[in-house]
């Protein structure tokens, strides 16, 4: 198996763990909304990095989802709403984790973060699928 493929698979696998823990929390009415939102951001970050690797795009180490999307935009169609979604989720990467800038998202915000994360999952799957289809040799 190709090394790049394995790395992408690992990024998506870890993203699925983030999504899985969010789903468990939401299904069980867990009130740790800051953690739910953080894991939604983490999942999206991992999905986007998997897409960048698939497309052969180098990126710097960052939690900035808008930056990751900017790198993708020259290689694939990204609807403008994803940049708005990225801004929402990016605030959960750093600020929400530390007590000096502490903020407790509402349950509604946590559910919205999950919806956004799921939309990025679908976007990422579409990007990977398109790259795979376009990379197949002609028959």
Q: pLDDT tens, 21-46?
A: 999 999 998 889 999 999 999 999 99
Work out the mean pLDDT of the chain and round it to a whole number. 90
Q: Is 69 exposed, middle or buried (0-12, 13-18, 19+ CB in 10 A)?
A: buried
Confidence of residue 96 (pLDDT cuts 50, 70, 90): low
Residue 1 pLDDT greater than 60, yes or no: no
At 74 the pLDDT is 87
- Check: CB of residue 34 under 8 Å from CB of residue 99: no
Domain covering 3-133 in this structure, CATH number:
1.20.120.330
pTM recorded for the entire structure: 0.90
Mean pLDDT, residues 2-10? 90
């Amino acid at each position: 198996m190709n090394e790049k493929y394995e790395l992408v698979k690992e990024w998506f696998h870890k993203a699925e763990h983030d999504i899985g823990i969010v789903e468990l929390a939401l299904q069980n009415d867990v009130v740790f909304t800051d953690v739910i939102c953080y894991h939604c951001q983490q999942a999206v970050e991992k999905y986007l990095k998997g897409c960048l690797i698939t497309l052969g795009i180098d990126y710097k180490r960052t939690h900035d989802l808008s930056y990751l999307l900017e790198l993708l935009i020259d290689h694939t169609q990204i609807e403008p709403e994803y940049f708005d979604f990225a801004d929402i989720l990016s605030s959960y990467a750093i600020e929400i984790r530390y007590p000096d800038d502490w903020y407790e998202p509402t349950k509604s915000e946590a559910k919205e973060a999950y919806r956004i994360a799921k939309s990025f999952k679908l976007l990422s799957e579409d990007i990977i699928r398109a790259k795979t289809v376009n990379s197949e040799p002609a028959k």
